């Protein structure tokens, strides 16, 4: 059996990080985690572009523009939605997740879902560099791995 899997090796292309300003204290930590993971795996700072959007709901729209530009090997979407007292949380999380997934499918560019969807601020802090690691770092690693896998499969 021939096994094909992505590698965490440096890549010469560009990566975009689209970040939500809403809950920015948490998102800043996710960005730091992503930057650290990229650096540790040989991706230089000048290969990264950071684009800010107002909230998680707007992530898919800008991610699609970036993916369609063909300037990026992968796009990472980082955000944080914390459950409140209304249904707003459910709508935002659902639309962000579905939108981000559809951008990847429609464009053929890896678009990574790095949006924390938490019940509490403490849960978000734990996933942004606390007890549960840093999901920004995990998102950067997923992007690097998917780019490597696409290259092996003869993709973009």
pLDDT digits (tens, 9 = 90+) for 67-97: 999 999 999 999 999 998 888 888 999 999 9
Q: Which residues are catalytic?
A: 88
**Distance (Å, whole) CA 130 – CA 122:** 9
pLDDT digits (tens, 9 = 90+) for 100-115: 999 999 999 999 999 9
42 φ, ψ to 5°?
A: 80, 15
Q: Parallel, antiparallel, or unpaired for β 133-134 and 128-130?
A: antiparallel
Full-model pTM: 0.94
Alpha carbon of 102 to those of 64, 76, 143, 156: distances in Å?
9, 14, 16, 18
Query: What confidence score (pLDDT) does residue 155 get?
Result: 55
Alpha-helical (H) ranges within 41-109 are 59-68, 88-107
pLDDT digits (tens, 9 = 90+) for 36-56: 999 999 999 999 999 999 999
Side-chain-side CA neighbours of 130 within 13 Å: the count stands at: 9
Query: What confidence score (pLDDT) does residue 140 get?
Result: 98
Do 113 and 7 contact (CB within 8 A), yes or no? no
**Distance (Å, whole) CA 92 – CA 77:** 14
């Amino acid at each position: 059996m021939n096994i094909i899997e992505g590698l965490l090796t440096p890549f010469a292309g560009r990566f975009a990080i689209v970040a939500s300003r809403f809950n920015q204290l948490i998102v800043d930590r996710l960005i730091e985690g992503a930057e650290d993971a990229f650096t540790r795996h040989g991706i230089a700072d000048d290969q990264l572009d950071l684009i800010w959007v107002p909230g998680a709901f707007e992530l898919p729209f800008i991610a699609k523009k970036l993916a369609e530009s063909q300037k990026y090997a992968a796009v990472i979407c980082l955000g944080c939605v914390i459950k409140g007292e209304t249904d707003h949380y459910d709508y935002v999380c659902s639309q962000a997740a579905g939108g981000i997934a559809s951008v990847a499918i429609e464009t053929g560019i890896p678009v990574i879902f790095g949006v924390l969807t938490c019940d509490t601020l403490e849960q978000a802090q734990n996933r942004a560099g606390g007890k549960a690691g840093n999901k920004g770092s995990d998102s950067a690693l997923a992007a690097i791995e998917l780019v490597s896998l696409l290259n092996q499969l003869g993709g973009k």
